[in-house]
Chains A and B, each alone.
Chain A
Amino acid sequence: MDEKDLELLRILEENSRLSADEIAIMTNLSTAEVENRVHALEAAQVIKRYSTVINWEQAGNGEVSAIIELKVSPERDYGYDRIAERLSRFRQVKTLRLMTGTYDLQLVVTGKNMQEVSRFVSVHIAPMDRIRETATHIIMKSYKENGQTLFEQQESERLLYSF
């Protein structure tokens, strides 16, 4: 991992649809070298996958997301790992993190509607062994995802010419 790799990662994180040719021009690398480096980063699992930031609210699919916080009793020898890995297997769990503070784990869960999300939490998550407490927060509106603002911003008016 060198400075050029980091540069490639920054470029791809912002827009993964750029072609190797385009990236080559921007970074002063050859197209082949860009391809080789990206393949190496993929093979090393530094690049996990290429995805798209979607404004689902705009797309109108009506899905509901919730942030769920869990207090968990850690296991001897395993800490939080085994229960976290178990929770990760659920398709509905989009994001899962271990945190400091009042709660231990934080999940982002999505479902078709509020009923589905609450059923998922009450049937699958809350009764799990070692989970002592849950707090569910339904997300009402998303303003920014992965560095991308989702609301309309006014274009600033620049002069057409200035020195």
Chain B
Amino acid sequence: MKKTIWTMSLVVMALLSSCNKEEAAPTPTLYDRLGGVNAISAVVDQFIANVAANPKMVRTFKPLLDDVGKGNTARVTALRNNLIDQIGEAAGGPQKYKGKDMVTAHKGMNITEDEFNSLVNDLVLALDKFKVPATEKGELLGVLGGLKGMIVGK
């Protein structure tokens, strides 16, 4: 009986590991053209640094900034991870974003249009720092700009 259970466990594990789909796109996706996870994480790091130094972002990011001030970077790490996943998925990357949807994540924060535009400006500055080509920058901002309706005024 024990041998049967262990044998079945081996079969299940072999099946699960073989279910990993290999995505072979015929043309490079935006994710590939941006430079993959290393480039996206570099842009996200610069974006977060820009946001933290932006006085217009203090109201919406205060709990996160307060934690960083106390030496606890768990929240900013969670934000960074979610941004990497979300931008990676929006750019056509292999993995999926598993965090909250934008409406739920921003519910009750009453984000104004001015704050949203300031955030987008911080992202543009981060993309410009790494000299992301205009085509890729426009594509990425177009995808993320579509989230405005789910964030502003919620």
B and A form one assembly: no
